Amino acid sequence: MLKITMINGSPKAKDSSSEAALQALETVFSDGPLNDSQITEFDFRKPQLSVQQMEQLAEHDVWVLAFPLYVDGIPSHVLSCMAQLENYFKEKPQPQVTVYCLVNCGFYEGEQCGLALEMVENWCAKSGWQWGQGVGIGAGGMLPAVKNVPVGRGPKKNLGKALETLAGNMGSRTGGENIFITANFPRFAYRFAAEMGWRQQVKANGLKVRDLFLRR
Ligand SMILES: Cc1cc2nc3c(=O)[nH]c(=O)nc-3n(C[C@H](O)[C@H](O)[C@H](O)COP(=O)(O)O)c2cc1C
């Protein structure tokens, strides 16, 4: 039986896109041939991991690391957890772990996540983990809004296909080319919704819409 841990690297306590992506992957698992896998949930919300947490992680065969793209890279709190794991297991028997990764981004194009996936792959090579495969998810901001839409349907059609491929590779702990996807939703409409969201957020934070365009 495969022991999998789903690691949420978003700093948001709830309603993150990373959480929605991991939930979608769990659904694909529970509907597929690997439904006897033992899945646990974990988070890298804080930049610090305890020894106990690192030992717990080492008890799993597969780590699925999901995080938001920050400035084309890995958020610093996630990077800090990764560095701690690398250092801690340097002096110890290396756990035989295969790492898969879901990076989601605000841009419409999932290809934006390519560099971050390469960073995780390089970390695997340096730390001794086996790299599996990554998925770069564009229009990530939409995921929480469509969390009740079945995976593989409507705006989540591409996501379903990518996660099925990933889940298949996870089952055999094999690798594959990184997959880049976006929502099955028009780009202009996604952009329009995102811009409306920023206007609402700027007002909710006591600022004016024109403050969005300030250049200092
Ligand atoms: C500090 C910061 C930097 C970001 N940098 C990028 C970026 O370089 N490219 C991009 O497409 N989105 C970027 N984003 C947007 C996030 O990747 C996006 O909102 C994501 O869906 C958040 O995922 P989460 O809900 O799992 O935290 C950034 C967001 C923040 C807060």
What is the CATH classification number for the domain harbouring 100?
3.40.50.360
Quote the pLDDT of residue 22: 98
Domain encompassing residue 191: 186-216
Collect the ranges in the chain with pLDDT lower than 50. Answer: none
Q: Are residues 56 and 68 in the same domain?
A: yes
Closest ligand 1 atom to 67 CA: 26
Nearest residue CA, atom 8 of ligand 1?
71
Mutate to test the pocket of ligand 1, among 19, 25, 65, 71 (most ligand atoms within 8 A of CB): 71
Spatial contact of 203 and 190, defined as CB atoms under 8 Å apart: no
Residues within a 6 A CB radius of ligand 1: 10, 12, 16-18, 68-72, 104-107, 112, 140-141
Phi, psi of 43 (to 5 degrees): -140, 155
Q: Are residues 171 and 119 in the same domain?
A: yes
Quote the pLDDT of residue 57: 97
Closest ligand 1 atom to 73 CA: 8
Quote the pLDDT of residue 1: 86
Tell me which residue of 139, 144, 179, 148 sits closest to 161, measured CA to CA: 179
Kindly report the average pLDDT of the chain as a whole number. 95
Quote the pLDDT of residue 30: 82
Q: Are residues 100 and 200 in the same domain?
A: no
Quote the pLDDT of residue 10: 98
In the reported structure, the alpha carbon of residue 179 is separated from the centroid of ligand 1 by a whole-number distance in angstroms of: 19
Q: Are residues 117 and 212 in the same domain?
A: no
Q: Are residues 52 and 62 in the same domain?
A: yes
Closest ligand 1 atom to 72 CA: 8
As for how many domains the chain has, the answer is 2
Q: Are residues 175 and 83 in the same domain?
A: yes
Quote the pLDDT of residue 180: 98
Spatial contact of 3 and 57, defined as CB atoms under 8 Å apart: no
